[in-house]
A and B are shown apart, each in its own frame.
Chain A
Amino acid sequence: EDKVVQSPLSLVVHEGDTVTLNCSYEVTNFRSLLWYKQEKKAPTFLFMLTSSGIEKKSGRLSSILDKKELFSILNITATQTGDSAVYLCAVEGLNSGGSNYKLTFGKGTLLTVNP
């Protein structure tokens, strides 16, 4: 069964700090890894990673994938209170029937940024 483990489960920092969120996975026939941000409502897409070593960047957020060691990190620099959210990691792998790809999510990391 596919598995996605995120760490830490929760994190409290002060504005301006830099944080690193971790995601490790075990999946059959990996195709991609995705990061989402979930505030009070639905998850919103941040990044999709398919290749090792290529950093994806969007403003103060960046992410990188290591397909050999089966993990990804999400970095947030100069954190702001608006970054407070649950960050979800999900991995796309072949389903048990081998016919389609499906997403398996981790439990998420709850990030709280205090002013």
Chain B
Amino acid sequence: DAGVIQSPRHEVTEMGQEVTLRCKPISGHNSLFWYRQTMMRGLELLIYFNNNVPIDDSGMPEDRFSAKMPNASFSTLKIQPSEPRDSAVYFCASSPSPYGGGSPSYNEQFFGPGTRLTVL
């Protein structure tokens, strides 16, 4: 298995531009997570999906951020318009959900390599 795949690996954009980050989870995993990591705030969970349905988006910082999961093998995180304070590494992760419902299996959570976003 190729693991969790994220693209692009690096993104440099100017303030005000729209940014779209992409993620392909591990096949068979039905929970998907988006995280953001900065020096100041550490690693923060933004949103997670179970069976393609958003379960908890309380970590999404503002309305400028949105995430979708149109099918089991693809998710996007969009920032529009982007701001310099959005600069961070964005990780996608996936896991199976043996508990059923909306509770993921964090000990079986695998992270992607991350997208380093720089907003100038």
Contacts and interface: CB of A to CB of B under 8 A. Distances in A.
Interface string A8-50: 0000000000000000000000001010000001111100100
10 contacts: A32-B106, A41-B114, A42-B114, A45-B107, A45-B109, A90-B43, A96-B58, A100-B56, A105-B44, A107-B42
A103 interface: yes
A102 B45 CA distance: 8
Interface string B101-117: 01110111111111000
A31 B56 CA distance: 17
B42 A42 contact: no
Interface of A: 32, 34, 41-45, 48, 88, 90, 92, 95-97, 99-108
B12 interface: no
Contact of B48 (A34, A99, A102): A102
A103 B45 contact: yes
Interface in B73-112: 91, 93, 102-104, 106-112
A101 B107 CA distance: 13
Contacts of A99: 56, 102
Given A99-B102, A102-B56, A32 B107 contact: yes
Contacts of B109: 45
Nearest to A104: B45
A54 to B, nearest CB: 15
B120 interface: no
Given A42-B113, A107-B42, A34 B58 contact: no
A12 B55 CA distance: 40
